[in-house]
Amino acid sequence: MTAPRVLFLCTHNSARSQMAEALLRSRSRGRVEVESAGTEKTLVRPLALKALEEIGIDASAQTSKTMERFIDEQFDYVITVCDAANDACPTFPNAGAREHWSLPDPSKATGSEEQQLEVYREVRDDLELRIMELLRRMEPSLVDLRGGIDRVAPPQ
């Protein structure tokens, strides 16, 4: 059996899609092949990396990519995580399913660094909930209850 493949898309591939990629890779213990990309390429936001680091995920090696490189690849899920990317997203002919998760853009947060980081944390936690649900739908055995995730789905 081949590993499920998921592609997360956002406008700049700098925060939401990067956090989603790292969270899914971590929570599936690497048993899901996951990529992220944007309609435009930029830099990964330091506060996105910091929000992930707080829950034990090192995403510092991830880079921003454009979605053109993935157009002809096969994915079980293509998931847009921002409204602009959803509107601009081309058809992925080899995608099994396409979903849209409307999430606020944490890079637009204002205030002190701590206030901005709080917005990144909120988006990270929302993504974590959605990713756990995605994993349950894909294959319940992929769900990893380590790393604080038991706050999302307490062991029975």
Express each pLDDT in 15-66 by its tens digit.
999 999 999 999 998 889 999 999 888 999 999 999 999 999 999 999 999 9
Q: Which residue bears the tokens 């080899």?
A: 94
Give the type of residue at 112.
Answer: S
Q: Are 124 and 23 in contact (CB under 8 A)?
A: yes
User: Known catalytic residue: 61?
Assistant: no
Catalytic (active site) residue 10: yes
Q: 2-33: string of b/e by CB count within 10 Å (b at 16+)?
A: eebbbbbbbbbbbbbbbbbbbbbbbbbeeebb
pLDDT greater at residue 86 or residue 31: 31
d(CA 58, CA 153) in angstroms, rounded, equals 23
User: CATH fold of 5-150, please?
Assistant: Rossmann fold (3.40.50)
Rounded Cα gap, residues 29 and 68, in angstroms:
27
- Annotated catalytic residue: which of 10, 67, 127, 134? 10
Q: Which of 55, 89, 145, 152 is catalytic?
A: 89
Catalytic residue, chosen from 15, 51, 82, 149, is 82
Q: Which pair of tokens denotes residue 77?
A: 């899920």
Task: Quote the CA–CA distance of 37 and 105 in Å, as a whole number.
Answer: 15
Catalytic status, residue 89: yes
Under the banding of pLDDT at 50, 70 and 90, the label for residue 1 is: low
Q: In this predicted structure, what is the pLDDT of residue 30?
A: 86
Q: Which helix (H) or strand (E) holds 51?
A: helix 46-53
What's the predicted TM-score (pTM) here? 0.86
Which tokens belong to 73?
A: 């690849």
Q: What is the mean pLDDT of residues 88-102?
A: 81
Average pLDDT, the chain: 86
> Count of residues for the chain?
156
